[in-house]
Structure 1
């Protein structure tokens, strides 16, 4: 499975990047180090010194520069070596790759493709932990599985009925009915109404109601979801379209989730979740995060086991079902964009 490189990948939570302290992560098999310089400037460099390939993440910040602490080469934020101890002449090839990096929505985003194509308007519109309209908790998990398998899981919610019977308590509706899937320029949109229901563990209701959920799943692997609980009959009244969330009885929440491929078969999964103000408090947020912790652990067990089976299968083939529309559309989009990137590289060579 190919991945799109001309995209913004979540590398860390903002709080993980301490001042003057290099942070190491691998994204798409590229070793990257990220640091905040003395001025507050955010920098992302290839985590590999040009001299003897020592990791720059073990280095020392000096102003906005980074010094390799093996033999002392000093790097500018743009990746150029500007000092070699004991040597006056600095070769022009003494440089490492510098990645475009942006801090937004409480995440550090790194552009893994061609730097001249980096476009901040392509950063998915997640909701940050400091958003005044929401009360959010957050976390992350590392997977011994390829990112595509996690993306596929998030693109097909029919698994909620089975994998999450003890956590989300979604009931049979997710496997028995279809959601509305709409293609987007850089992803898909998933919309679902569940009518005449008493809800799930996160949206329990003492009386029958209509429950709405909607998420966008965007390149490179970011899920942004909201929804709420509405009076019975709301789904029909709005012709099963998008409701006015201001009319929700309860349960208006937002979750931002991001899947980052680390290596070929390891991934990092970032997530936040919580209520809109007026629809819950810190205690409700903590309850939601408890449910999420249990549910995401259930996903992790299943997906890592799936990876083991795939690795043991000589020619692994899947058999799509009706629930795979979102999976198919998104993976086709990834393949299309990745192929266009490779063609651009071939033409430029």
Structure 2
């Protein structure tokens, strides 16, 4: 599978990175160790000692440095060996790769490409767990499947009608009519109005409403989605454009999701979801997360089964449908950026 390297990938939740305790993650088949120092600085290096290839994630933090606990080599934050016990002269090539790493939106972001091109402006504008406007739950799932398959799933919501009939219960409209798809510089935008609905988000309303949902799906595989329920007729009034969320009757939520390719046919899927403070509380957040746990489990079963079929199929080919515009546009963008690299 092809993935963009000059991009920020989510490596974990910031609150789960303990001070002076190395954390290991594999991204794009590269072993990485991340640690937070007592000063609060975070560093990321190749998780492989230059001496006998022991994992540095089993090492010991010493100030800003990391010591391999197999034979004691001490590494500077830039990846160079600062000390080799019993040996005064350190070879000039005694170093490992250093990765740009940033804390933002409650996630640890690692740049997997050319370090000189690591532009923090390219970090997708997710919503962190500490955001003042939203009450968010969070979690992650590990998949035995390619990240590309998870991305494709998130880019084509027509599957909601079938895969999630018992969780989200969205009804037939997602499969019967395509959404509005708009290309972005580093992704796509999905927008959909559902008119005259009594869907799950508007059950407490007095009558039928118009429901709006939209998300941006951005390089390398980050979904940022919001939506809400509005008075009947709002969609036509706005000519099916984006609404002002201050007019929403109910159901305003936000979810940030990120797909990180690990090794072959393994990926980690990070997610948060919850209501706007004007439209819910911790009880609603917990209810939404319960639904999400069930729905994301449904996705996992289907996608891992899909991976097995692909692996057993000689020269596997897909047959695109009318709903694949977002999938096609995003994967073309991935191919274009990867080729430029």
Regarding TM over 0.5, the answer is yes
Mapped partners of 2:322, 2:226: distance in 1:
24
* Equivalent residue, structure 2, for 1:345: none
Q: Residues 101-144 of structure 1, C-alpha deviation per residue, up to 9 Å, x if partnerless?
A: 00000000000000000000000000000001100000000000
* Equivalent residue, structure 2, for 1:110: 110
Mapped partners of 1:210, 1:38: distance in 2:
51
Mapped partners of 2:266, 2:286: distance in 1:
28
Give yes or no for contact 2:215–2:224 (8 Å, CA) kept in 1. yes
* Equivalent residue, structure 2, for 1:13: 13
* Equivalent residue, structure 2, for 1:347: none
Q: Residues 77-107 of structure 1, C-alpha deviation per residue, up to 9 Å, x if partnerless?
A: 0000000000000111000000000000000
* Equivalent residue, structure 1, for 2:222: 222
1:131 pairs with 2:111? no
Give yes or no for contact 2:202–2:209 (8 Å, CA) kept in 1. no
- Across the aligned residues of Structure 1 and Structure 2, the Cα RMSD in angstroms comes to 0.7
Query: 1:38, CA displacement in angstroms?
Result: 2.2
Give yes or no for contact 1:275–1:285 (8 Å, CA) kept in 2. yes
Mapped partners of 1:259, 1:237: distance in 2:
36
Mapped partners of 2:172, 2:271: distance in 1:
25
Give yes or no for contact 1:199–1:205 (8 Å, CA) kept in 2. no
Mapped partners of 1:144, 1:265: distance in 2:
6
Q: Summarize the alignment of residues 19-58 of structure 1 with structure 2, pairs less than 5 Å apart.
A: 19-58=19-58
Mapped partners of 1:203, 1:165: distance in 2:
17
Large movers: runs of 4+ above 2 Å: 202-206
- Segments of 5+ residues of structure 2 without an aligned counterpart are none
* Equivalent residue, structure 2, for 1:119: 119
* Equivalent residue, structure 1, for 2:265: 265
Say which SS state the counterpart of residue 239 (structure 2) adopts.
coil
* Equivalent residue, structure 2, for 1:204: 203
Say which SS state the counterpart of residue 290 (structure 2) adopts.
helix
Say which SS state the counterpart of residue 262 (structure 2) adopts.
strand
Task: Give the TM-score, by structure 2 length.
Answer: 0.99
Mapped partners of 1:278, 1:230: distance in 2:
14
Say which SS state the counterpart of residue 229 (structure 1) adopts.
strand
